[in-house]
Structure 1
Amino acid sequence: MAICAIVIAVLGFAPSGLDPTARRGPLTPLVATHAATSIAWLALFFVQTALAARRQIDLHRRLGAVTMLLAPVMIISGYMVAIAMARRGFDLSGDLGIDADPLLGLVNPLGDLATFGILVAGGYWYRQRRDVHKRLMLLAIVGGLMLAPLAHLIGHSPLPRETAPIILIPIALFLFASAAYDRVSLGRIHPVSLWGATVILIWDLLRNVAIGPSAAWHQFAQWLIS
């Protein structure tokens, strides 16, 4: 899954960098910082999964303590990038098409950051319980970091904007991949794999269907960017 996450991130963000003709602005230092920390997190996640698979648990834990220092940087830089996008009124890459309602466009990046932060904190809290820890950290990647590159990937594709809800299909597949793996490898589904994925999917739906379009959210988002 670590390799898959890296591939999705590359496929999502690389096109607008390699082909800048559709971009609406150059890469800013803030966006570059957030991108660098996100890449570093995914790379470290790959290394951590490899260490755990090889039973090098002591090194895994030592590296994990260092890795946790990266999470606040990702969250803070991600928040600043999202706020800057909403203030600007458009996405620099040209992939997302938030121009009609930039405040609505703010609900997903901020929601993703909340998902990521909560799950990473939970994963660190349960670091002594391997079965819970690894599933929470995986869900942090899938539920907190994958929606953005998938949105960019779909936005950069020739698909019309109206097909954007199709993103729910790969998101659901990624979220429940852990549950499927549990069922095949263990003969049962771990509660974290099932209920964690379910809650994240419901959260994704709620913020897009109910929270984002609401007047209350628009007032709150306007306050955030003012």
Structure 2
Amino acid sequence: MKKGTSTAPRSRLFLGLAWVGAAAALVGFAKTFFLPLLTGAFRAHPAIYAHAALLFGWVAFFLAQALHIHRQRVERHRRLGGAGAALAAGVVVSTIAVATLAARRTAAAGDLAAAQGELLVVQIEMAVFAALVAAALHFRRRPEFHKRLMLLAFIGSLGPAWFRFRHYFPEVGNPLFLYSVLLADSLILVAMLADALRYGRPHRIYVQVGGAMVALHLVEVFAFASSPFRAVAAAVAGPML
């Protein structure tokens, strides 16, 4: 087998998932952001515009990096790594800032417990996202680890986009579980199946880290209204409200 032939299926997989994620971001936010923005009907705090630019910039960055690898532009891919780290940091800061604004509105409307819980979920997700990107940078010289960690970070960042699919299907019950967990995390399953078909079993990054992500998402959905979760939310997120 020639040296270059082993990378093509992997690069197609990662590129394909990058396109799926980009499409989910565009479609998911079309009704609540892009279309109102184009018609001049969208008005929001400046932090939300900055957050949108950073988040969609992150999606575009991941897609561009997948394209570079697909086209064997490895050196260009590596040179852009620092920019990706800075972009990811911006995503973390802006996401927490925007979530804090939203949680304060919820608290002002009289639902402090929900506000604290929602903010805690965002804090947890951003901590996981930051850890995945940091780990991917640490393993940048081990591509089998690096690319899978980056893919998991990318998949994790798409949860809000998938959740907004509820605006297209408002009659669907339990949209948080259906879209933010079942649909969003299905990309992890796709990656695991691709590994299993190619190598005989999924890579341990998918099994251990990806599995932990799915478990965490299930806890966030089904334990949200529980007393222990509310207590942690009050202690961790409460001081920011």
| TM-score interval for Structure 1 and Structure 2 normalised by the shorter chain | 0.7 to 0.9
Q: Identify the match of residue 98 of structure 2 among 76, 81, 85.
A: 81
Deviation at 1:46, TM superposition (A): 0.8
Q: Give the whole-Å Cα distance in 2 for the aligned partners of 1:46 and 1:187.
A: 27
Aligned 8 A contact 1:109 1:148 in 2: no
Q: Give the whole-Å Cα distance in 2 for the aligned partners of 1:122 and 1:212.
A: 32
TM-score, normalization by structure 1:
0.85
Deviation at 1:28, TM superposition (A): 2.0
Structure 1 residue runs without a partner (length 5+): 91-97
Aligned 8 A contact 2:54 2:90 in 1: yes
> Which one-letter code corresponds to 2:161 in the other structure?
P
Q: Give the whole-Å Cα distance in 2 for the aligned partners of 1:129 and 1:8.
A: 29
Q: Identify the match of residue 12 of structure 1 among 28, 37, 40.
A: 28
Q: Give the whole-Å Cα distance in 2 for the aligned partners of 1:158 and 1:210.
A: 23
Deviation at 1:224, TM superposition (A): 2.1
Q: What percent of counterpart residues are identical?
A: 26
Structure 2 residue runs without a partner (length 5+): 1-16
Q: Identify the match of residue 192 of structure 2 among 166, 179, 196.
A: 179
> Which one-letter code corresponds to 1:216 in the other structure?
A
- CA RMSD of superposed structures (Å): 2.4
CA 162–177 in structure 1, closer or farther in 2 if over 3 Å, else same: closer
Q: Give the whole-Å Cα distance in 2 for the aligned partners of 1:192 and 1:164.
A: 25
Aligned 8 A contact 1:107 1:212 in 2: no
Deviation at 1:150, TM superposition (A): 1.2
Q: Give the whole-Å Cα distance in 2 for the aligned partners of 1:102 and 1:155.
A: 21
Q: Give the whole-Å Cα distance in 1 for the aligned partners of 2:29 and 2:126.
A: 18
CA 50–212 in structure 1, closer or farther in 2 if over 3 Å, else same: farther
CA 117–50 in structure 1, closer or farther in 2 if over 3 Å, else same: same
CA 174–99 in structure 1, closer or farther in 2 if over 3 Å, else same: farther
Which residue in 2 is equivalent to 1:166?
A: 178
> Which one-letter code corresponds to 2:215 in the other structure?
I
| 3-state SS of 2:170 partner | coil
Q: Give the whole-Å Cα distance in 1 for the aligned partners of 2:175 and 2:84.
A: 36
Which residue in 2 is equivalent to 1:152?
A: 164
Higher Rg of the two aligned structures: 2
TM-score, normalization by structure 2:
0.80
CA 31–11 in structure 1, closer or farther in 2 if over 3 Å, else same: same
The total of aligned residue pairs comes to: 214
| 3-state SS of 1:101 partner | helix
> C-alpha offsets along residues 107-144 of structure 1, whole Å, 9 cap, x if unaligned?
3322221121110001000000000000000000112x
CA 29–159 in structure 1, closer or farther in 2 if over 3 Å, else same: same
> C-alpha offsets along residues 19-41 of structure 1, whole Å, 9 cap, x if unaligned?
58xxxx82221011011011111
| Deviates further, 192-201 or 148-157 | 148-157
